[in-house]
Structure 1
Amino acid sequence: MSLEYNGTTDKADDGYSSHVHDLNEFYDTGHLTFLTMSAVLVLLMIPGVGFFYSGLARRKSALSLILLSMVSVAVISFQWFFWGYSLTFSRTGNAFLGDLTQFGLMKTVGQPNGSSALPDILFCLYQGMFAAITPALAIGAVADRGRMLPAIVFMFLWSTVVYDPIAYWTWNANGWLFNLPSYDFAGGGPVHISSGTCALAYSLMLGKRTGYNRNNGLPYRPHNVTHVVLGTVFLWVGWFGFNGGSALAMNIRAIMACFVTNLAASCGGIAWMLLDYRLEKKWSTVGFCSGAICGLVAITPAAGFVKPWAAVIIGVCGGIICNFATKLKFVIGVDDGLDIFAVHGVGGMVGNILTGIFGTATIANLDGGEYDPIGWVDSNWVQLGYQIAGSLAAFAWSFTLTCLLLFLMNLIPGLSLRVSAEEEELGLDDGQLGEFAYDYVEVTRQIGTSANHSETELATGSEKA
């Protein structure tokens, strides 16, 4: 699709009163509707992350993870408005980072950005949801032991110094990965590798949970598998907007991206579940859900570049490789309790690398554009090296900057990362929120406290007697 922007803008214009000849006629309402709904679907994924993590965590820290996922929406919505969008998608900038020419969304209304089918403000809305879900994926690392205030401050700072640069490299026409080119359709590097690596670094900086070694080095059991399923449903549905919307227009490429997304998720879920069945001869609900998420993560960078048969391979590889990657935490001694790095970090790398093998211009051209040969199936052998370079760059930048940021924050009074031993024993819900996901937790605790008081009174009475 080729559209030309013929509007003129006064030099003193603030961006809200640009002299554009009937913008509503310039843009196709079908494209506008599709991307608006895609933004809503990505927003739906964020509470999905919260429920998924909450179900995997312990009962006494379940509510805090749901809250943090929603706080991510609020904090990053402001950050994106304030300077995040400008740093990531400004039209001017060097190969590394954008500038502040659109600070506070100045001159961000009707001029096309990202695609000739989208006005700036809609592209900002859609990409803002990507920016919001990324720290929500990473912040699950605080499970059972991380303080809320530092986690909230961290979201704002991390998005600025980690997410925005990686997204700029990958998706901005001035970015060095974009021009290499390292292909990433919907966020294998900016979203998944960066968030998974961040969770690994956060878990490392926090240290292991109290009692983790006494549990024979095994992770705590998920407290609510129903929440895991609910979160998976939200994520699976929302991923149609995440990947399909990344075509940035309503076209056949967007539909193909939706199809391969669903196919890869299905294959990933089956692959993980079968791997678990071979060990315990039990069908695992958590295993299926974890595998489906791995399939979704792995197909994300490839969704707009691969044919359906390749999506089957990507989904199966994502499920299998991420399954085995869950054992890495025992090898390196990091308590990544929710396996965020194994699922998102490793899954994003798998997807990026396989894009360099199975990506084809035939699928990319379904949006009406003209792409050069992409992956090995197009006999473009060097592309695999570019994909690996993109993955390593995202990993190195995220891990290094996350560790540095957390180290500095931990030195600031009031921003120490970890709760006290007493709060950890109580649980984050009680210690940090004063609220509970389940009323009976508080009721049981009150009954236990009352019983202890009664025993104390009886003992004191007998001593007096």
Structure 2
Amino acid sequence: MYNHKHALWPQTYDNASVSFILLCSACVFFMIPGLGFLYSGLARRKSALALIWVVLMATVVGMIQWYFWGYSLAFSLSAPDNKFIGNLDSFGFRNVYGTKMTTASDGSYPELAFAIFQMMFLCVTLSIVAGATAERGRLLPHMLFLFFFATAVYCPITYWIWAPGGWCYRWGVLDWAGGGPVEIVSAVAGFVYSYFLGRRKENLLINFRPHNVSMVTLGTGILWFGWLLFNGGTSLAPNLRSVYAFMNTNLSAAMGGIVWCLIDFRLERKWSTVGLCSGLICGLVAATPSSGCIPLYGSIVQGVVAGVVCNFATKIKYYLKVDDALDLLAEHGIAGVIGLLFNAIFGADWVIGLDGTTYHHGGWISHNWKQIYKQIAYIGAVAGYCAACTAVLCIVIDKIPGLQLRVDEEAERNGLDEDQIGEFAYDYVEVRRDYYQWGVDNDYYWDHRNDENEDEEDDDEEVDESTTSNTYTPKSTDEDDDDSTTIESDTASSPESFTPHHSHRHHHNHSHSRSHSRAHSHHHSYHHTKQSSRTSNEMPDSTSMEVPNSNIISHSNRKSNEILQDIHPSESADLANIHTSDPTENAQEIELQEV
């Protein structure tokens, strides 16, 4: 008979520690959709959904890699003499499930809980790197890149700083929650990946604005929420050091947001929401390596420095001619470096010891002058190793047939949502795509429209010579409701109604010269009709006015209908409202053009 007692796990754990770790893991995971919203809002609408997809898929890839061998390579407990990377003894989470581990506060938790928490760090890192594909990167090759990147770059660097056998850990480098393996690694990898992708094809990319600032704000708020336990949960126990890290994170973010916003206001004289969000993120990133190591006043100074330096660091990509679409280098890399350097300057031994067990000499304020070169060496090693491995992976994957990193020019023009996803974040983007597939091209229309304006002017001159002015006497108020055509004739009585109304174009990237030619066409036609009316020998009195001959109006309408038929005959009825409008609107538009 089977003895059920043998199925009971003999170990017991501290419930508070286990609950704390799982709660922090869930909050860190919540940062991932926040990144998706942030990236989607910063990009243009034609690639909005693709960025959300690539962030979520990067998380999936990270979880699979972490389960198979990622955790074993990054945190092997059976390889204490390895200084560079772990072994595969924990492949597939073998012997990981219930191994009892203790916190700095003498709490206990299963090793599986620790593995879950660290898995979320990997997922966040890969999600940040995924932003490098913005608007021009193919998604399948990038997923393959992320899998091998996690193995070759993230796991070794994580082992360096957090595993007991890692060379940085033994050397005494201070990195609380991942300034190296999370922030610098993701920024350098994203920047190098952007270099190999090349610049986007459109000109004047500097003038493009985020398509949805509300999503940027939402994503930043979610990130801030998750970041509090990203940093606060690194202690793995609800102790005083985790509380201190929580507060340091808030102070650094707040000062970073204020300073960035003030710098933007100095230039634009406007309060920028995107600038505020960018400053907040820089402050959060800077707090990642330092929030558990420096005093509170150090976070105030750190936030100010991060806001100023990272704001100006956004110009680096222009000097290096790398299309870092989401400013990964400035907002994650530079801010991460600032946080690590602040550990060398403001690192305090008493802050590091707030968990009750950890001892470190701290930085300059604790008279540990040697800490600065350790931090600098660590920054250089992480950035250099990451850049080299990323470049090799990009070169190799891009050479494999069918795995080119970048989409073609037509796919880039249509957007990644259409080319890579097949779905759209906004319905009207799909409608606009169908609009072009029908053959309705705004540029084609305006080219023909300008030619037609010249023909209409010649025809109007001929008609003016062969027709006489009609005299119109308004009806009494009793008859206004009975004859709508009379009201329309009265509305069309102004000479401005000779010029048919032009619809406004819907896309922001059309040239100014074409708008100018359209305005010139209005202006020229207006003066032509004014001269025609001045040739009349008699001025109209108060009870009569000169109106254009109906043949002229019908002639203009006929020309507009011909343009519609030339563009796409089957859709002319649906698009007729583009050219047909109230003549009073024509008059108002012409008056504005003349002013």
Q: Distance in 2 between matches of 1:294 and 1:118?
A: 33
Letter matched to residue 77 of structure 1:
M
1:45 to 31, 53, 78: 31
SS at match of 2:423: coil
SS at match of 2:323: coil
SS at match of 1:266: helix
1:196 to 187, 204, 207: 187
1:252 to 240, 260, 264: 240
Q: Report the Cα offset of residue 372 of structure 1.
A: 2.8
Letter matched to residue 340 of structure 2:
N
- After superposition, give the CA deviation of every residue in 1:367-417 in whole Å (9 maximum; x if it has no partner): 111413111010000001111111111100111100110000000011100
Q: Distance in 1 between matches of 2:239 and 2:377?
A: 30
Change (3 A) 1:370 1:77: closer
Partner of 1:399: 387
Letter matched to residue 74 of structure 1:
V
- After superposition, give the CA deviation of every residue in 1:135-173 in whole Å (9 maximum; x if it has no partner): 110111110100010111111111110111111101001
Q: Distance in 2 between matches of 1:121 and 1:364?
A: 26
Verify the 8 A CA contact 2:348 2:361 in the aligned structure 1.
yes
Q: Report the Cα offset of residue 316 of structure 1.
A: 1.3
Partner of 1:234: 222
Say whether residues 1:333 and 2:321 are aligned partners: yes
CA RMSD of aligned residues (A): 1.6
Partner of 1:440: 428
Partner of 2:346: 358
Partner of 2:68: 82
Say whether residues 1:281 and 2:392 are aligned partners: no
Moved more, 108-117 or 357-366: 108-117
Partner of 1:455: 566
Q: Report the Cα offset of residue 452 of structure 1.
A: 2.9
Q: Distance in 2 between matches of 1:308 and 1:37?
A: 25
Q: Distance in 1 between matches of 2:135 and 2:88?
A: 38
TM-score by length of 2: 0.72
Partner of 1:64: 50
Say whether residues 1:166 and 2:152 are aligned partners: no
Say whether residues 1:418 and 2:409 are aligned partners: no
Say whether residues 1:205 and 2:160 are aligned partners: no
Between Structure 1 and Structure 2, how many residues are aligned?
A: 437
Partner of 2:137: 146
Structure 2, unmatched stretches of 5+, are: 1-5, 442-564, 571-595
Q: Report the Cα offset of residue 291 of structure 1.
A: 0.3
Q: Distance in 2 between matches of 1:201 and 1:169?
A: 22
SS at match of 2:290: coil
Change (3 A) 1:114 1:153: farther
Partner of 2:287: 299
SS at match of 1:296: helix
Verify the 8 A CA contact 1:149 1:415 in the aligned structure 2.
yes
SS at match of 2:109: strand
Q: Distance in 1 between matches of 2:177 and 2:212?
A: 30
Q: Distance in 2 between matches of 1:40 and 1:334?
A: 35
Q: Report the Cα offset of residue 445 of structure 1.
A: 2.1
Q: Report the Cα offset of residue 241 of structure 1.
A: 1.4
Change (3 A) 1:311 1:172: same
> Which 4+ runs in 1 deviate beyond 4 A?
17-20, 456-459
Change (3 A) 1:419 1:113: farther
Identical columns (%): 45
SS at match of 1:282: coil
Compare relative contact order (CA 8 Å, sep 6+) and give the higher one, 1 or 2. Answer: 1
Q: Report the Cα offset of residue 92 of structure 1.
A: 2.9
After the TM superposition, which residues 372-387 of structure 1 pair with which residues of structure 2 at under 5 Å, given as runs? 372-387=360-375
Structure 1, unmatched stretches of 5+, are: 1-16, 460-465
Change (3 A) 1:198 1:117: same
Change (3 A) 1:249 1:380: same
Between Structure 1 and Structure 2, whose CA radius of gyration is higher? Answer: 2
Verify the 8 A CA contact 1:114 1:123 in the aligned structure 2.
no
Say whether residues 1:342 and 2:453 are aligned partners: no
Change (3 A) 1:18 1:416: farther
SS at match of 1:72: helix
Q: Distance in 2 between matches of 1:100 and 1:113?
A: 20
- After superposition, give the CA deviation of every residue in 1:205-262 in whole Å (9 maximum; x if it has no partner): 0000001xx21x6252111100100110110000111000001111011111111111
Verify the 8 A CA contact 2:41 2:210 in the aligned structure 1.
yes
Q: Distance in 1 between matches of 2:388 and 2:7?
A: 42
Partner of 2:146: 155
Partner of 1:4: none
Partner of 2:520: none
Verify the 8 A CA contact 1:83 1:102 in the aligned structure 2.
yes
Q: Distance in 2 between matches of 1:48 and 1:173?
A: 32
Verify the 8 A CA contact 1:171 1:178 in the aligned structure 2.
yes
Q: Distance in 2 between matches of 1:443 and 1:383?
A: 59
Verify the 8 A CA contact 2:352 2:359 in the aligned structure 1.
yes
Verify the 8 A CA contact 1:73 1:132 in the aligned structure 2.
yes
Partner of 1:290: 278
Verify the 8 A CA contact 1:117 1:249 in the aligned structure 2.
no
Q: Distance in 1 between matches of 2:334 and 2:393?
A: 22
Q: Report the Cα offset of residue 113 of structure 1.
A: 4.5
